[in-house]
Chain A
């Protein structure tokens, strides 16, 4: 693809801290290469802001190779921007044209309060994981990975669910701010594997209880989450979670 440079107008959400009221600021950025990543474009802008003695724009980022789930920008009305199955850090500027205006907002959900600018607090996801997203293992020497036979189909489905990086795009996209795609990916991943069996009946209930406590909305299967998920987590996992939940209710020891 041909390389080109562009001038862009950015409208970025600026918010000093969790308690202050935020607003959009407009920035003109010049000579942006089509080969830059979206975050590199932000780096260029931030370096300029620092040189000008202004506060740089705070945004979450870590691995910058699409696997950590840290970056979280709502770009032109879509979590992680216009490309399918792509995190913000893997979005490249060739997705845009010279003269474009790009609106960048943080994830919006009461359960994900803004910390600063484009950074939101996603600890709610950690607490959901703590509620049940774990397995019991015996201590001692590590057991050989292939010691437990696992059906190939289940291994594949579990692997696909385990691809969830917990970025929260599902919540950001959902009209109900529901976290069920994230929770279902974790539940399905462990429910499909024999290692997940000991906590199978309690995991799904505890994780859903915690999810409700955190203030996420309920799922109405609008399928927006699946469309924006950078890891293409399928909403079939939500069906699987529902099945696990019903089963847990019927067989509960509590």
Chain B
């Protein structure tokens, strides 16, 4: 879980960086999704990311399958349950709810892949071209995003996905390093702090997209 989790964290950094290109619409005068579409093109259509994508899917599947297998196995270890539960005394709720949080993220992921990855890979998107790269066309993912992220239930699901991701990462980030054997107190404190900041920043950046589009901050 730790190794696949950390690789997925690396992917999140790349994904959130490409996503952040939508802000070019706000900050670069005259941009109407060009920067975002070109960045998405690099991530979705060029050779190296496409090869890495195969591994990414494998890591996603391993992480999900192993997570569920562990959850099911671990639940069977108790046998007779307690009459009075320990609740969150000693262990924060999100540390004990990685399975639930992961499932919420998975629900989001299914819809998200159906909305963006499948049309981008198998057709269903309009193409645009830009003056500085004559003869080259780009999938208009920006246009797609403006359509999809105006649907209220999808926006709600995306926000739930982002909130779940934040809590999942807050536990997962530092827990991964512990699993890999980091026992140095100073490093653990640093990793814990970094984990909190990273999780909140990444989830906020992701969540800002549907929120901004839905509220019309990005047009």
Which A residues are closer than 8 A to B by beta carbons? 11, 22, 24, 74, 76-78, 103, 105, 108-111, 113, 173, 175-178, 215-218, 220-224, 226-228, 235-240, 242-247
Task: Known contacts A77-B89, A220-B70, A227-B91; decide if A242 and B181 are in contact (CB<8 Å).
Answer: yes
Cα-based distance from A222 to B96 in the complex (angstroms) = 6
Cα A109 to Cα B178 with chains together (Å): 25
A-B contacts, CB under 8 A, total: 109
Closest to A228 in B: B90
- Scoring B residues 145 to 182 as 1 if CB is less than 8 Å from chain A, else 0, what string do you get? 00000000000000000000000000100110011111
Is B84 an interface position by the 8 A CB rule?
yes
Question: Does the CB pair B96–A175 fall under 8 Å?
Answer: yes
Say if the beta carbon of B81 comes within 8 Å of chain A: yes
A239 touches B182 (CB 8 A): yes
Give, as a whole number of angstroms, the nearest-CB distance from B155 to chain A: 31
Bitwise interface map of B from 55 to 83 toward A, beta carbon under 8 Å scored 1, else 0 = 00000000000000010011011111111
Main SS at interface, chain A: mixed
Residue of B nearest to A114 (CB): B80
> What distance in Å separates the Cβ of A80 from its nearest Cβ neighbour in chain B?
12
Q: Which residue of B lies closest to A24 (CB)?
A: B83
Supply 27 A–B pairs (Cβ within 8 Å), ascending by A: A24-B83, A74-B84, A77-B84, A77-B86, A77-B89, A78-B89, A103-B83, A103-B84, A105-B84, A108-B79, A108-B82, A175-B74, A175-B91, A176-B74, A217-B73, A220-B98, A220-B175, A221-B178, A222-B95, A224-B86, A226-B90, A227-B89, A228-B90, A236-B183, A238-B178, A239-B182, A244-B181
Quick check: is B133 within 8 A (CB to CB) of the other chain?
no
* Inter-chain contact A110/B175, CB cutoff 8 Å: no
Kindly state the separation between the CA atoms of A177 and B91 in the bound complex, as whole angstroms: 14
Query: Are A239 and B90 closer than 8 Å at their CB atoms?
Result: no
Q: A216 contacts B83, CB within 8 Å?
A: no
Q: Are A218 and B175 in contact (CB under 8 A)?
A: no
Q: Is the CB of A108 within 8 A of B81?
A: yes
CB distance from B2 to the nearest CB of A (A): 9
Given contact pairs A221-B171, A239-B182, A243-B181, A77 touches B90 in the complex (Cβ within 8 A): no
